[in-house]
Structure 1
Amino acid sequence: MTAATTVRAFGAYLWVLGTLLLLFPSLVLSPFGLPVPDDVWIRVVGVLVINIGSYYWFGARDDQPRFLMATVYARIFVLAAFIGFVFAKLAPAMLIAFGVVDFIGALWTWFALRR
């Protein structure tokens, strides 16, 4: 599997996650014991996640190693930031689960780039 394919797959995952956050945030948050906010911001996050998924999907089409590696760094940063939020008591520990998905995706792409 090529690194571009791993980034496209992650982009598709982000489209699904973003769409669920936009339309049905409780389906994503409740199973993890995360509170479902009543305000619009979780839906705004959904829009942003959809947009990032689009960048990943379409950016991977050109198979540019620098772009693909940038997604690795970005996804590792997501996990680091989420861990920081939890340690600062700004978020519940379950937020780290979402960061772990990003980290696993980053490793998948990184290993594919090394081939």
Structure 2
Amino acid sequence: MARYLGFIIVVGLVVWCVLDISRSEDDERLGVHPALWMALVVLVPVLGAIVWILVSRGRRASARQDGSARPARGPAAPRRRPGPVAPDDDPDFLRKLDEERRRREQDTGDGSPTT
């Protein structure tokens, strides 16, 4: 088993790099097509993987310093939609509820809420 450990590590590194390349942004790849990066990593495994890691991590670090970086990605980090998450976080929804409550109170005339 120890004889194959180096081979297993290199294969794992190549697979990880290929997946990382496929999920990367254009600026992280320096504008190079992902197929070219993948070819470099697969054809020259150790050197290609090291070059990819240095380039992509360097670009991600510089983007974070500029403040233009996205939040750190996990394996399945969904992109968050802007706006309220729940109805009680939505000011328009709360305003409409308040208007509806006031309208019901005016209809009853006594100020007590109806059930």
**TM-score, length basis structure 1:** 0.38
Q: Which has the higher helix share?
A: 1
Over alpha carbons, which structure has the higher Rg? Answer: 2
The alignment's TM-score, normalised by the length of structure 2, stands at 0.38
